[in-house]
Structure formats: C-alpha cells, structure tokens
Amino acid sequence: MSFLLRVLVNALAIWVAAWILPGMQLTADPSVVSAVGGGTTASVLAYLFVGLVFGLVNAIVRPVLTILSLPITCLTLGLFAIVVNAAMLWLTSWLSSFTPLRLEIDDFFWTAVLATLIIGVVSLVMGWVVPERERR
C-alpha cells in the first residue's frame, strides 16, 4: 500500500475508534481552526496528522519494541502484541501533545487497548477493500 493510502487508512481507523470510544478524542487549537477556516477542516487535518504520526511511530519504533518483547509475546501466545500496539497508540498520543493537533487518550488499559483492537479491525477491513498493487 502506498504511504499516502496508509495514512488515510490510519486516519479512518483512528476516526472510527474516537467515534466509538468516549475516552479518545482529537482536538485542535483555536489558532488552527481559525487558520484553516473552520472546525470540520481542522478535524480532518487533525485525523490526517495523527494518522501520519501513528504511521511513523509504527514504522520506526514498533519493530524495535516487537523484537525486545518477543519472549513475553511468545509466552502469552501473541496476546502481548495487543499491549505493544496500545503502547504505540499511547506514544502517538504523547508525541501529538506537543503539537496544535492532539490525540487525547484518558486511560491506557481500557481506552488504548480497545482503540488498538478497533484500529486493527478497521485496518484489516480496509486492507480487504483496498488491495495492494500487484508487484512485478
């Protein structure tokens, strides 16, 4: 999948998770809202930005953390991978707290883990709907 399409899928998955879970929300500073001309445009930009940050965190940090947590992941028969994915979402939330477009998660265990499951399901469905290009 191309990088831009992956960012769009991440943004859509985060939107669905924020729509379902009350403890997860995206906020934009009033300066961003006034700069782009409205709340809807600021919300779309916030989801795209957080989707980009989430994609970068998954591309850079997640492989290292997956290798380091391999023994406990094997011990739990793969269930610890959900905790690793929730940690990546939590890290995305922390990194976005330094920007005008923020992802806010109120609780790690319930909100981040459930959001990880929702994001995983939405990404899986979008992977079926939008197949990858065939490689030569």
- Tens digit of pLDDT per residue, the chain (136 long)? 588 888 999 999 999 999 999 999 998 888 888 888 888 888 999 999 999 999 999 999 999 999 999 999 999 999 999 999 999 999 999 999 999 999 999 988 889 999 999 999 999 999 888 876 665 5
Residues 101/26, Cβ–Cβ less than 8 Å:
yes
* Contacts (Cβ under 8 Å, ≥6 apart) of 123: 9, 10, 13
Residues 55/14, Cβ–Cβ less than 8 Å:
no
